[in-house]
Amino acid sequence: MKAIHFGAGNIGRGFIGKLLADARADLIFADVNQPLVDQLAHQQSYQVHVVGENAHVERVNKVSAVHSASPDAINQIAQADIITTAVGPQVLAKIAGTLAQGLTARHAAGNNQPLNIIACENMVRGTSQLKQHVLQALPEALHAWVDEHVGFVDSAVDRIVPPAAAANDDPLEVTVETFSEWIVDSTQFKGELPPIAGMDATTNLMAYVERKLFTLNTGHAITAYLGQLAGYGTIREAILDPAVREVVKGAMEESGAVLIKRYGFDPRQHAAYIQKILTRFENPYLHDEVERVGRQPLRKLSEGDRLIKPLRGTLEYNLPNANLLIGIAAALSYRNPQDPQAQEMLTLLETLGTEQALTQISALADQPEVVAQVTNVYNAMQHQA
């Protein structure tokens, strides 16, 4: 099995790339960072530190790397069996052109073997969005061939991968938590499902996409935003504060009530899932900074993301949402001079005012009462600060 993974960063090397390597795939990383590509091509291996109660080190061997916009990448796509990504939601459109060129070369070479492409990003139906970008970059004459031979498989991924220690001598070493979850939509594959341990298939992907988005992502973001307000540097420090923990747990329970109503999740099992998430936030071996988790607040406050989408669910089913409102107000309070989105959000707040800015950022024009509630909480937070 020849596998190409776009995105050779920490998540790519420590999560998806590692699972592909463990499945004994012929693994090629593709990235725009030429020094990183050169290092991977030179070393052809790296270490993964799995941290937790049973901490251990695993080595990934026999990997190669190419620049993601190079002719080499296009040639590899023409021969691959599976392509995965961990590049970030905003970069998917940028790699679509390379994928389109690779598929064109694949067609020209007469390679009709099934190819499956899986975007492993923190977003809902990311691969379906990638497919649209790829089709836009392809000649229309190839669309039918792509539909027949190329599977665009949506997935849900979950693993905390913090930045490696700055003092680390090996730039390729990566640290990951023990827990990982990679769930794929089995209905979208072309050909047989590849035998990859750690990749689980389901016919009801959206239930798991929203379970992760409404629990891990919602809780993680609110922990970061409340943590920064309270002056904490890491997720662990923040979640160990009883006041922060109460709101985070309450928000995940509110979003969980939406999931239980929408998908029929067992309430006791979901309560245990929430507890597992809280335990992961407490992991003393992960130095996960609140500024990293909180970055890109405009994306995280957008209509389909981790704060507003579960809020919409509570409104749909007439469920409590007081803690989610606190989390949204805390997100509006996020300040980071190094984050362009945080700077843009601050400008919107200062020029438009809180209510109009939130309405624009989160598409809440139809919910003026909710906007007013969040504004009141936000104003109180600013007064306390």
Q: Do 166 and 93 sit in the same domain of this protein?
A: yes
Residue 5, Cβ density class (10 Å: 0-12 exposed, 13-18 middle, ≥19 buried)? buried
Q: Do 150 and 253 sit in the same domain of this protein?
A: no
Q: Do 369 and 222 sit in the same domain of this protein?
A: yes
pLDDT, one tens digit per residue, over 296-350 is: 999 999 999 999 999 999 999 999 999 999 999 999 999 999 999 999 999 999 9
CA distance 247 to 79: 50
13 annotated ligand-binding residue: yes
11 annotated ligand-binding residue: yes
Instruction: Give residue 164's pLDDT.
Output: 66
Instruction: Give residue 170's pLDDT.
Output: 83
Q: Do 129 and 225 sit in the same domain of this protein?
A: no
10 annotated ligand-binding residue: yes
Instruction: Give residue 303's pLDDT.
Output: 96
Contact criterion met (CB below 8 Å) for 124 and 304 = yes
Contact criterion met (CB below 8 Å) for 103 and 134 = yes
Beta bridge partners of 276: none
Q: Do 138 and 38 sit in the same domain of this protein?
A: yes
Q: Do 116 and 217 sit in the same domain of this protein?
A: no
Q: Do 37 and 130 sit in the same domain of this protein?
A: yes
14 annotated ligand-binding residue: yes
Instruction: Give residue 165's pLDDT.
Output: 60
- Single out the residue of 138, 68, 46, 131 nearest to residue 100, CA to CA: 138
CA distance 323 to 252: 9
- Domain boundary residue among 175, 203, 231? 203
42 annotated ligand-binding residue: no
Backbone angles phi, psi at 5, to 5 degrees: -115, 115
41 annotated ligand-binding residue: no
133 annotated ligand-binding residue: no
Contact criterion met (CB below 8 Å) for 348 and 357 = yes
233 annotated ligand-binding residue: no
313 annotated ligand-binding residue: no
Structural domain that includes position 224: 206-384
Q: Do 280 and 181 sit in the same domain of this protein?
A: no
Structural domain count of the chain: 2
3 annotated ligand-binding residue: yes
CA distance 212 to 216: 5
Q: What is the CATH number of the domain that holds 54?
A: 3.40.50.720
CA distance 163 to 167: 11
Q: What is the mean pLDDT of each run of 10 residues along the chain (385 residues)?
A: 97 96 97 97 94 87 96 97 96 97 98 98 92 97 98 94 67 91 97 96 94 96 98 98 98 98 97 96 90 96 96 98 98 97 98 98 98 98 89
Q: What is the CATH number of the domain that holds 253?
A: 1.10.1040.10
Q: Do 221 and 339 sit in the same domain of this protein?
A: yes
342 annotated ligand-binding residue: no
Q: Do 146 and 233 sit in the same domain of this protein?
A: no
Q: Do 136 and 87 sit in the same domain of this protein?
A: yes
Residue type at position 312: R
Instruction: Give residue 171's pLDDT.
Output: 87
Q: Do 93 and 178 sit in the same domain of this protein?
A: yes
- Domain boundary residue among 184, 203, 222? 203
- Domain boundary residue among 203, 233, 260? 203
